[in-house]
Amino acid sequence: MPSVLIVDDEANVRRMVGALLAGEGYEVRDAADGASGVMTAIDSEPDVALLDLMIPGALDGMAVLERLRERFPDLPVIMMSGRAGLTDAVKATRLGAINFLEKPLTPDGVVVAIASALELRMARRERTALRADLGMTGQFVGVSPAMDELRALIARIAPTDSRVLITGESGTGKELVAAAIHAGSARRDKPFVRVNCAAIPRDLVESEMFGHERGAFTGATERRIGRFELAHTGTLLLDEVGDLGAEAQAKLLRAIEAREIERVGGGKPIRVDVRIIAATNRDLTRAVRDGSFREDLFFRLNVLPVHVIPLRERPGDVPLLVRHFVEQMRRKSGQPAARWSDAAIDQLARHRWPGNVRELANIVERLGILCSGREVLAEHVASVLPMTGEPDRDALPSAAPAAGTVPPLSSALDDYERLLITRALSAAQGVVADAARRLQTDRPNLYRRMKRLGIIGA
């Protein structure tokens, strides 16, 4: 049952509003002054607080609002007053109040305000849970000097509104870094919108980024709001920005410079206020040199560069990461976590981790399931690492088999190609675009080869 805290010095207001909300199915608590209101909230955190502005005593309404926001950042607080002016309403809003009700209160007004506040409360809880599930809590696991430097850099750049370019190999946690920068900024309570530039078909990039009007093209049966508009007042993460084509790069550059966009099929410019964070595992400096990435766009994005080092360069963080992922699994499943032997963790720390932290998380989850109720040993780790590590030259097909065992050339070449592709896909965690880059080819060519060789995912 949702709970509401009413803080008001007028007994009639507490009694009447309390009865109204109890009749609507809410659990109601009340307090007659600011100090007891704060204590009541601490004793049993409510889902919504209804707070009078003009409370007599040491803590007035504004002071209580500040205390509640400090202690419970996600608690929706509704202010109410019969004598407040516009200045008070503005100040309360800046301090975090989500609504302001004028007295005398109306039953419908109170019920609607509480219902809206509860929706916000649920949305905030779901957002927090989702970010935790995605590893986007902004908490970086590791005690290596590199992680300490990364935390310090994020702390310096997050409060600014400058554009950030995050670089690093696939799986190093670039999205986590972007989320931490957003969480440390003044935009933290505003939208954090991510777009995977590598996953958008080239002919739909403009619609995805800027939206479209109904009837703008075949299949546009309704208006679509693009990612820039969705991120208005918040942060937009352009993940895999290095995969954008030349035309999309030009349109992105214009949107950044003009701070406005136009929906496809719409002729009216729309002002947007977004902080741009871009991320890529490509070497954009080299891409600029070879002409595949615009130099002017690179300079616009690369105001504050952040590089995330690969996991193999901080092996001392592996044990902490293993414990972190084990605990995540325990919370999700509710089952006892698998125990890890020192030898198993040591073997993980010696691995090269081409897929970085994402690969490690997958391995920990896999072994946690396969070894449920048992201790994870070094042999268990060895059984799953060969196909996730970098290719072992000794394990590749021999170029000169023993006499009498020579297979047909086409068959041997297919086997060798299949091995290289499956290992590249494994290292890329199944991301075909990343696997193609590792094999120094393009996605369409890799898809054709996968289909010919019967590799799943083609």
Which pLDDT score is estimated for 128?
A: 62
Domains with residue ranges and CATH for the chain: 3-132 (3.40.50.2300), 145-309 (3.40.50.300), 313-384 (1.10.8.60), 402-453 (1.10.10)
- What letter represents residue 56's amino acid? P
| CA distances for 160 relative to 157, 193, 197, 253, angstroms | 6, 18, 25, 21
Q: Are 68 and 49 in contact (CB under 8 A)?
A: yes
Q: Which of 26-35, 196-205, 262-271, 432-441 has the highest mean pLDDT?
A: 26-35
Beta-bridged to residue 276, according to DSSP, are 236
Q: Are 196 and 239 in contact (CB under 8 A)?
A: yes
Which pLDDT score is estimated for 402?
A: 46
pLDDT at residue 12 above 90? yes
- What letter represents residue 350's amino acid? R
- Which residues, including other chains, have CB under 8 Å from residue 63's CB and lie 6 or more apart? 34
- At 262-275, the pLDDT tens digits run 888 887 888 999 99
H or E element in which residue 300 lies: helix 295-301
More confident residue, 240 or 126: 240
Cα(301)–Cα(294) distance, rounded to whole angstroms?
11
pLDDT at residue 60 above 60? yes
Which pLDDT score is estimated for 407?
A: 59
Choice among 33-37, 50-54, 63-67, 81-85 with the minimum mean pLDDT: 81-85
Choice among 9-18, 113-122, 241-250, 282-291 with the minimum mean pLDDT: 113-122
Q: Select from 94, 98, 95, 158 the least CA-distant residue to 123.
A: 98
What average pLDDT is seen over the chain?
Answer: 84
More confident residue, 61 or 221: 61
Mean pLDDT of 381-400: 52
Q: Are 100 and 70 in contact (CB under 8 A)?
A: no
Pull the structure tokens for residue 213. Answer: 């009007």
Pull the structure tokens for residue 243. Answer: 């995969």
Q: Select from 308, 284, 307 the least CA-distant residue to 297.
A: 284
Choice among 80-89, 115-124, 250-259, 382-391 with the minimum mean pLDDT: 382-391
pLDDT tier, 21 (very low <50, low <70, confident <90, very high otherwise): very high
Pull the structure tokens for residue 210. Answer: 């800027």
Question: Does the global pTM surpass 0.85?
Answer: no
pLDDT at residue 2 above 50? yes
Pull the structure tokens for residue 112. Answer: 């609607």
Give me the DSSP letters along 140-182. PP--SHHHHHHHHHHHHHTTS---EEEE--TTS-HHHHHHHHH
Which pLDDT score is estimated for 139?
A: 61
- At 146-186, the pLDDT tens digits run 899 999 999 999 999 999 999 999 999 999 899 999 989 99
Which pLDDT score is estimated for 273?
A: 93
- At 392-436, the pLDDT tens digits run 433 344 444 444 555 577 767 777 787 788 777 767 767 788 888
